[in-house]
Amino acid sequence: YAHAAAFNGNANVLTFMRQRVRPSVFLAADGDGSNPLHTLMESSRNLQTAELLLELGVDGYCKNGAGRSALSMSIEKLPALAARLLDAKSRFEYRWWGNDLFWFSFDGIVLPCTHDGRAMPIFDGANRSTTVEQLIVRHDRRELLTTPVMRFVLERKWDYFAAAIYQRRFAQYMLMVGGLLGATVSDVGSAAFAASCAACVGSWGAFVLQASREVAALGPANYLRSPRVLAEWRVRRLLNALDSVHLLLVPLVPAVKACVAAGALDPSLRPAVAPVAAALQLSLALRALQYVALNRSLGPLLVIIVEMFGDILSFVGLYAFILLGFANGFYVLFSADAASPSYGAIVETQLLWLLGNIDFDFFGSLADAPVLLNTAYAFFWVYTSLSVFVMLNLLIAIFNSTYERVAVESEAEWLWLRLEAMLDFEVAAHAPGIDAPGFEEYYSELRERNKQRAVR
């Protein structure tokens, strides 16, 4: 009966049963190992009924026969329940020397670990093996990261091993960028060129070795599905895609310069490399945004900039109709004059008007046709009024709305970006031959702190 009531989301039936049946009735599992909360998440997903089942003592963290828990299912389908379950894993005790002392439990979130020391595995709705943290990232439940238990997990993960990996990668990356710049602008045979090549090729080789170890550890198929390749943040996915381009092109610039100087290649190839080297410097700078995103102050700002680019694309789609509509009108007015400007020149002039570059000589060819000239002036004033006073102010208002929204959620935005990067770091930490000090200590502390008090 408890499963039937949960299936239909009928809290009234459960309330009626509460006074008339043994508590164990609500805790019973069906043939698939699912308790009433599992049943509810598979069907009605009624929050009120779910909260009543939690009051009745139903376990929201145990896994059923399919390897899913009510917590994992709620992360996918009912985030309000997931927040309730995560909040229940921490309890504020009291203030101790100016710090908040919390009781934490990590069972059903990270613990129990696997035999090789990884976070507790679960299965998602598509029957893919994953973890609670990966589900939060995959389904963009960044608001869940501000719960005390998740904050504690992320802070410890960063302190124990992720910060060291981040610092090492960032230093290695900047060495490669600086080395490539030096190899590009210095003369072949000089000490600066030799030192730059050594820094560039050495750091590049370290990245290649790291990637090859990760592929060997996971297997090619699993590597292509890992956070390193399939990041949930679309910007990080684009930046990750740049990695493969960099691995191919970074050693190309110093190699071509050296081969041209040695006479092994045609000297005409050297000028052709300059645009590639310039484009590489730009793309390497963009790739560095992934490291910037982990900074607590700069990460949310990067999210704001990305969101604003999305706003600009939407705005341009709307503004294009106004721009082309008036361009067509001007083109018709000028069509009677043999010396009329081209369609492209009309569009370019309209865009310059937005920047304040207004020259009424543009209408000079219509001076002999007063009706056409007056119509063109009318079009001009309507276009500038609509574009400057309406459309540009609309864009500013959209930007302001985006900034306010992300600023309010800045803590969650930053935690989400950091978590996605740390999941990538975990992949690297498990690769053979990779020294990741602090990784085992992190999980050891979680086991020691489980159901204990800790300062947050």
Report the first-to-last Cα separation within the chain, whole angstroms.
42
User: pLDDT tens across 411-452, in order?
Assistant: 888 888 888 888 888 876 665 556 667 888 898 889 988 998
CA–CA separation, 85 vs 74, rounded Å?
Answer: 9
- Least confidently predicted of 75-79, 153-157, 227-231, 401-405: 227-231
pLDDT at 368 over 60: yes
Overall pTM > 0.85: no
Q: Give the 3-state secondary structure of the chain.
A: CHHHHHHHCCHHHHHHHHCCCCCHHHHCCCCCCCCHHHHHHHCCCCHHHHHHHHHCCCCCCCECCCCCEHHHHHHHHCHHHHHHHHHCCEEEEEEECCEEEEEECCECCCECCCCCCCCCCEECCCCCEECHHHHHHHCCCHHHHHCHHHHHHHHHHHHHHHHHHHHHHHHHHHHHHHHHHHHHHCCCCCHHHHHHHHHHHHHHHHHHHHHHHHHHHHCHHHHHCCCCCCCCCHHHHHHHHHHHHHHHHCCHHHHHHHHHHCCCCCCCHHHHHHHHHHHHHHHHHHHCHHHHCCCCCHHHHHHHHHHHHHHHHHHHHHHHHHHHHHHHHHHHHHCCCCCCCCHHHHHHHHHHHHCCCCCHHHHHHHCCCHHHHHHHHHHHHHHHHHHHHHHHHHHHHHHHHHHHHHHHCHHHHHHHHHHHHHHHHHHHHCCCCCCCCCHHHHHHHHHHHCCEEEEC
Q: What's the pLDDT score for residue 219? A: 73
pLDDT at 127 over 70: yes
Q: What's the pLDDT score for residue 118? A: 84
Q: What's the pLDDT score for residue 258? A: 87
User: pLDDT tens across 231-286, in order?
Assistant: 555 666 676 777 778 888 888 888 888 888 888 888 877 777 888 888 889 888 88
CA distances from 252 to 4, 25, 101, 256 (A): 66, 69, 55, 6
Within 13 Å of residue 84, how many CA atoms lie on the same side as its CB? Answer: 16
Q: What's the pLDDT score for residue 321? A: 92
CA–CA separation, 170 vs 430, rounded Å?
Answer: 19
Q: Is 67 left (phi over 0), alpha (psi -120 to 50) or beta?
A: left
If you average pLDDT over residues 388-413, what whole number do you get?
Answer: 84
pLDDT at 59 over 60: yes
CA–CA separation, 132 vs 134, rounded Å?
Answer: 5
pLDDT at 177 over 70: yes
User: pLDDT tens across 289-302, in order?
Assistant: 778 878 877 888 87
pLDDT at 61 over 90: yes
pLDDT at 2 over 80: yes
Q: What's the pLDDT score for residue 182? A: 92
If you average pLDDT over residues 382-393, what whole number do you get?
Answer: 88
Q: Is 190 left (phi over 0), alpha (psi -120 to 50) or beta?
A: beta
Q: What's the pLDDT score for residue 80? A: 95
Query: How far out from the chain centre does Cα 189 lie?
Result: 43
What's the mean per-residue pLDDT of the chain?
86
Longest dimension (CA), the chain: 97
- Least confidently predicted of 148-152, 286-290, 379-383: 286-290
Residues near 216 by Cβ (< 8 Å), separated by ≥ 6?
431, 432
pLDDT at 331 over 60: yes
Q: How confident is the model at residue 56 (pLDDT cuts 50, 70, 90)?
A: very high
User: pLDDT tens across 296-321, in order?
Assistant: 778 888 778 878 888 888 888 889 99
pLDDT at 225 over 70: no
User: pLDDT tens across 80-113, in order?
Assistant: 999 999 999 998 888 877 788 889 999 999 999 8
Is 198 exposed, middle or buried, given 0-12, 13-18 or 19+ CB atoms closer than 10 A?
A: middle
pLDDT at 167 over 70: yes
Q: What's the pLDDT score for residue 430? A: 66
Give the sheet arrangement for strand 90-96, strand by strand.
Answer: 90-96, 99-104, 452-455
Q: What's the pLDDT score for residue 8? A: 92
Q: What's the pLDDT score for residue 314? A: 86
Kindly report the number of other CB atoms within 10 A of residue 451's CB atom.
Answer: 11
As a whole-number percent, the residues of the chain with pLDDT over 70 amount to 93
User: pLDDT tens across 9-53, in order?
Assistant: 999 999 999 888 888 889 999 889 999 999 999 999 999 999 999
